[in-house]
Each structure stands twice: as C-alpha cells, then as structure tokens.
Chains A and B, each alone.
Chain A
Amino acid sequence: GIQVEQSPPDLILQEGANSTLRCNFSDSVNNLQWFHQNPWGQLINLFYIPSGTKQNGRLSATTVATERYSLLYISSSQTTDSGVYFCAVENRAAGNKLTFGGGTRVLVKP
C-alpha cells in the first residue's frame, strides 16, 4: 500500500518561532488531510488539501501532488500548538481510505 512518512518526528519550539512540517507519500493521491491531535487526544481537522496552497490564520499548507509531498507551516507558534500533527492520504489503489503517517510531535515552550 501507499507509504506516508512525516518529518521531523519530534520538534521543540520556543513560543513565537516558525516551523515547517513535511509529509512525503509514495504514490499519487486524490485526498490529503492534515490533523492536529491535541493533548486531550482529539483529532482536529486542519486542512483538506489534495493540491495547492491554503491558509488558516497562523497555519498554512502546500501540497505538490506531482512531487508527492505536502508541507505544513506554523508561524508565530503558541503553546496551544503543542500536540501531534498527522498527515493522512487517500489514493484509488488503496480503495480511497485514509492512510496515516507516523506524525510529528510538537512541543512549544513558553
């Protein structure tokens, strides 16, 4: 099946810093989503972004489908940004079901 790799696995930031998280995938996709899992375990939808660029406040994401990667940008990080960020993809070969990467664990220090 499709492989999804996220980097870095862990990230420690000082409040106010910017960061970039990466998601590489091994095959063409028809869906890509970014999620934030907060410290209480909830999965929060950040972006549905199979291609192109989107922005939502301090977060933005870019997917370059032809090169099989997506980037999540966090600007001016806040302690509430702490948690695990997951990338998940769907492709037709896998029957259109979301396959998750291993996640990037982010800790923002005050």
Chain B
Amino acid sequence: TAGITQAPTSQILAAGRSMTLRCTQDMRHNAMYWYRQDLGLGLRLIHYSNTAGTTGKGEVPDGYSVSRANTDDFPLTLASAVPSQTSVYFCASSLEGRTEAFFGQGTRLTVV
C-alpha cells in the first residue's frame, strides 16, 4: 500500500517563482492537511481540508493556497515564493479528522 505520497522530494526554487507541491493518498481518507516544519521547530498547520470540495486555513496560511478537487489529491501552491518559505513541507491525511493521522515523507523546499 502506497499510503500518502508527496512530490517532489526536494526542490530549489528562485524567489518570485511559483510552485505546486503534490500530495496523493490512496487510503480514502476524507481529511487532508499541509504542515511546514522549520529547522529545530515543530510542525505548523498551513491549510487543511475536511472533505473534497472544502478547504480551511491553518496557523500559517499566508502565501499558500490549496485545492481539493477529489478525495485523493491535495496540492499546495506557492504563487510567488519568498525565502521565508524555505522549509520542509509535510502532507497528512486521516479519516474524519478525529482518528490517527498519517504523514507523507516530506518535501524539502529551498527558496533562493
């Protein structure tokens, strides 16, 4: 079972460019999340989706957008990257938002 897959694994991006981080899960989980983890810190929620067609803002949403066109995919878009968005990004999913959450392997993004 693939579980939850993120792509790319890592990326170097020029400031001002746009990028979409991809996240796909095959567990039919209705809830999906995007977190960022900065060096030496815990994970902070960027955006979430409780079900296909709905999204919500987390703790640090500025500069990011998401969409949830179907159950399996939850892409995260940086419209115009800035160096402060250099971080490791984790996608996660869970069933109904109140059960065990599972995380992808992360995407390491460096904005220069």
CB of B42 within 8 A of CB of A103, answer yes
Tell me how far the C-beta of B59 lies from the nearest C-beta in chain A, rounded to whole angstroms: 8
A 26-51 to B, binary, CB cutoff 8 A, 1 in contact else 0:
00001101010000011101001000
Is B62 interfacial (CB-CB < 8 Å)? no
A12 to B92, CA, bound (A): 30
Would you call A69 an interface residue if the criterion is a C-beta within 8 Å of the partner chain's C-beta atoms?
A: no
A33 touches B101 (CB 8 A): yes
Contact with A along B63-106 (1 / 0, CB 8 A): 00000000000000000000000001010100001111111011
Assembled-state Cα–Cα distance A98/B43 (Å):
9
Which residue on chain B has the smallest CB distance to residue A6? Answer: B42
Chain B interface residue bracket vs A: 20 to 34
Check B2 for interface membership: any CB of A closer than 8 A. Answer: no
The answer to the question of B16 belonging to the interface, with a C-beta cut-off of 8 Å to chain A, is no
Contact segment of A60-68, A71-79, A89-97? A89-97
Shortest distance in angstroms between B78's beta carbon and chain A's nearest beta carbon? 20
With known contacts A31-B98, A48-B99, A97-B33, A42–B105 Cβ distance under 8 A: yes
Check B42–A98 contact: CB distance below 8 A.
Answer: no
Residue of B nearest to A87 (CB): B42
Residues of B within 8 A of A (CB): 31, 33, 35, 41-45, 48, 50, 56, 58-59, 88, 90, 92, 97-103, 105-106, 108
